[in-house]
Amino acid sequence: QEAPAKPNVIILATGGTIAGAGASAANSATYTAAKVGIDQLIAGVPELSQLANVRGEQVMQIASESITNDNLLQLGRRVAELADSKDVDGIVITHGTDTLEETAYFLDLVEKTDKPIVVVGSMRPGTAMSADGMLNLYNAVAVAGSKEARGKGVLVTMNDEIQSGRDVSKMMNIKTEAFKSPWGPLGMVVEGKSYWFRLPAKRHTMDSEFDIKNIKSLPNVGIAYSYGNVDDTAYKALAQSGAKAIIHVGTGNGSVSSRVVPTLQALRKDGVQIIRSSHVNAGGFVLRNAEQPDDKNDWVVAHDLNPQKARILAMVALTKTQDSKELQRIFWEY
């Protein structure tokens, strides 16, 4: 009897700590990210070949705090090309963890495919004791090569969990248990086998109205953070630098200080979209017309999206509409 054909999985490497190297095995937090090439990473996990026919491609080599909108578009276009190929069954993207949640959500919104796309990183460089990258990568390839992962949106495999790229966020920066979703993981990977427990409820990939093939550039969207004694300096500076939308990182329910309200009302009148999100760490939940009269001010709420994810959705949405009501519909649906 012939063994079943192995899936073809492409690993697109972008850098990050999973490709990092430190001076000694004791350096789990002090190291340089984005040092090791994809061929060396693959060679370091020979067990990958038991899961899939694996091929690597170095798309960029950066620490993810330095990723730009152009990098996102470049990666998104390459993912779309590969997803269209009949020789590709699944795609893994190795990525720094700092902005991994942004890239995963971006791809979830703009890739028109039901093939598995799995974004993965690590909290420790490969040179450290108890490095987590090898197992995270093994799990990512296992999920990307599995039929059950199809149609579930862009996924993230960190710390044995399968998370929705839409929901997941880096909540802790020193533990390997760094990535959490306010709504829980979708499943687990154990010894190369995935176990699923729930499905994403929001629109993504095949069901999304956005397509990377129609996006030529991304607009300037800025983020301004609120705190006690805040004033409007950051908001005005962002508008002056040409921001088409400002993500307001409010306290609690995306609240806005009385010292900032008049500026945000004036900026909206000048055409800048104002999107209220929350800086509550473990999951903000901003409701319309609660704390602030959004209908009257013509503002938008980000609902459960954290500020950095709200920036991604706003950029993608603004490539299609400038209408605040449409923008709000999009923020409810994605």
Ligand X SMILES: NC(=O)C[C@H](N)C(=O)O
Question: Annotated catalytic sites, by residue?
Answer: 17, 97
CB 294 within 8 A of CB 253: no
Residue 32 vs 220, nearer CB to ligand X: 32
205 labeled part of a ligand binding site? no
Q: Where are the alpha helices (DSSP H) in 219-260?
A: 233-240
Closest CA to 226 of 246, 256, 190: 256
Nearer to ligand X, 146 or 169 (CB): 169
- Which C-beta is closer to ligand X: that of 76 or that of 126? 126
Nearer to ligand X, 65 or 231 (CB): 65
Q: Between 261-269 and 233-240, two packed helices, what is the crossing angle to 10 degrees?
A: 20
Q: Which of 33/274 has CB closer to ligand X?
A: 33
Min CB(98)–ligand X separation in Å: 3
181 annotated as belonging to a binding site for a ligand: no
Rounded to 5°, the CA angle 129-132-136 comes to: 160
Q: Tell me the C-alpha distance between 244 and 195, whole Å.
A: 42
- Footprint of ligand X (CB under 6 A): 16-17, 33, 63-65, 96-98, 121, 123
Q: Which helix (H) or strand (E) holds 118?
A: strand 117-120
3-state helix, strand, coil in the chain (%, to 5): 30, 20, 45
Give the C-alpha separation, 99 to 170, whole Å: 8
Q: How many CB atoms lie within 10 A of CB 101?
A: 27
98 labelled as ligand-binding? yes
- Gap between the Cα atoms of 196 and 274, Å rounded: 37
CB of 164 to ligand X, least distance (A): 20
CB of 203 to ligand X, least distance (A): 27
Residue type, 65: E
CB of 308 to ligand X, least distance (A): 13
With CB atoms as reference, the residue minimizing the distance to ligand X is 96
What's the min distance (Å) between Cβ of 99 and ligand X?
6
* 179 strand-pairing partners: 170
Binding residues for substrate, by number, are 64, 97-98
Binding residues, by number, are 64, 97-98
